[in-house]
Amino acid sequence: MSVTVRVPAKVNVQLAVGAARPDGYHDLANVFLAVGLYDEVTVTPAESLTVTCTGPDAGQVPLDRTNLAARAAELLADRYGIDPAVHIHIAKDIPVAGGMAGGSADGAGALLACDALWSTGASRQELLDICAELGSDVPFSLVGGAALGTGRGERLTELPVGGAFHWVFAVADGGLSTPAVYREFDRLNEGAHVPEPVASPLLLDALRTGDPGALAAALVNDLQPAALSLRPSLADTLAAGTDAGALAALVSGSGPTTAFLAKDDDAAQQIAEALLASGTCRTARVALAPAPGATVL
Ligand code: C5P
């Protein structure tokens, strides 16, 4: 018997970053929006814990115990005294190391799939706690929709969304390391006063009303200067999407994927074509938001 879970990517529509904490993490006001690009994680009983991955970027995915999907299976098994003898297969469609929480999605997906396979009876809160232990973005991959993450991003408050938003994602060549982008954020802000991160009321309103123009005006990513500093060519990608009619353009999370908000589906298709033709990205993907969280198929 196998269990398959489908789990979405995310874009941060607001990523407000505070000063580095003593533990090295940063307090955030992190407004997550789940988008309709998905990985599928399938778990099957096996002799021992193994991971395989297929998809266009599968070669970049670690298949050892550092993979968040493997760690999720181990953590859940540990907690319930189960032998984590499963084969985990990841059908990967979310860009790898792209700032779209693809690794976090696989962690949340494997956790939900193993939970169903082993019938642990874990509560939703227990699953969320394990997600938070796996990584700051993992709880959101389980929940989906839209949510405000505080603390290091793992404490979630679900947010209402009043409509569908049309997005285009430009996938860059190669990834960016999230810790490296946060370190660059610290370097760029050295000696400066970094304000406490707070959620923008205008942005929360724009989500609630489903108004793409209002959301475009409120999008903000405090990690964008750091991502651009490490990867200056991303400015060309942002400009190409804006020239093609995007309502707004920003780096997705820690990058290097860039995100473009479009007024409707036609505009999104046009922006995607223009981005591809510009030669400033490897591929461009159109996706709708919000998307549901991790779901057993
Ligand atoms: O929590 P996670 O393992 O996904 O975080 C990866 C890295 O990103 C951390 O090691 C840290 O360098 C950085 N980070 C941070 N502040 C956060 C979340 C992540 O500095 N709120």
What whole-number distance in Å separates Cα of residue 195 and Cα of residue 10?
Answer: 25
**pLDDT given for residue 44 in this prediction:** 98
Annotated catalytic, 10? yes
Candidate from 28, 31, 106, 178 with most ligand 1 atoms within 8 A of CB, to mutate: 178
**pLDDT given for residue 97 in this prediction:** 85
Provide the edge-to-edge strand list for the sheet that holds 248-251: 248-251, 258-262, 165-171, 283-289
CB 122 within 8 A of CB 171: no
What whole-number distance in Å separates Cα of residue 273 and Cα of residue 269?
Answer: 6
Active-site hit among 57, 93, 106, 137: 137
What whole-number distance in Å separates Cα of residue 144 and Cα of residue 234?
Answer: 27
Cα angle vertex 295, ends 265, 221, to 5°? 55
What whole-number distance in Å separates Cα of residue 217 and Cα of residue 160?
Answer: 19
Q: Whose CA is nearest to atom 21 of ligand 1?
A: 152
**pLDDT given for residue 174 in this prediction:** 87
Residue at 237: amino acid letter = T
- In Å, how far are 38, 45, 272 from 197, measured between CA atoms? 29, 44, 32
What whole-number distance in Å separates Cα of residue 79 and Cα of residue 237?
Answer: 45
Q: Whose CA is nearest to atom 18 of ligand 1?
A: 152
108 forms bridges with which residues in the sheet?
none
Q: Whose CA is nearest to atom 14 of ligand 1?
A: 25
The length of the chain is 297
Annotated catalytic, 186? no
pLDDT digits (tens, 9 = 90+) for 85-99: 999 999 999 999 899
Name every residue whose Cβ is closer than 8 Å to that of residue 68 and which is 6 or more positions away in sequence.
Answer: 103, 104, 106, 107, 110, 134, 135, 138
- What residue ranges of the chain have pLDDT lower than 70? none
- Ligand 1 binding site (Cβ under 6 Å of any ligand atom): 24-26, 28, 135-137, 152-153, 178-179, 182
Distance from the CA of 153 to the center of ligand 1, in angstroms? Answer: 9
DSSP state at residue 47: S
Distance from the CA of 91 to the center of ligand 1, in angstroms? Answer: 25
What whole-number distance in Å separates Cα of residue 128 and Cα of residue 107?
Answer: 11
DSSP state at residue 59: G
Strands 86-91 and 50-54: what pairing?
A: parallel
Candidate from 152, 187, 196, 254 with most ligand 1 atoms within 8 A of CB, to mutate: 152
HEC secondary structure over 250-278? EECCCCCCEEEEECCHHHHHHHHHHHHHH
Strands 86-91 and 26-45: what pairing?
A: antiparallel
Question: What are the DSSP E strand ranges found in 92-189?
Answer: 146-150, 155-158, 165-171
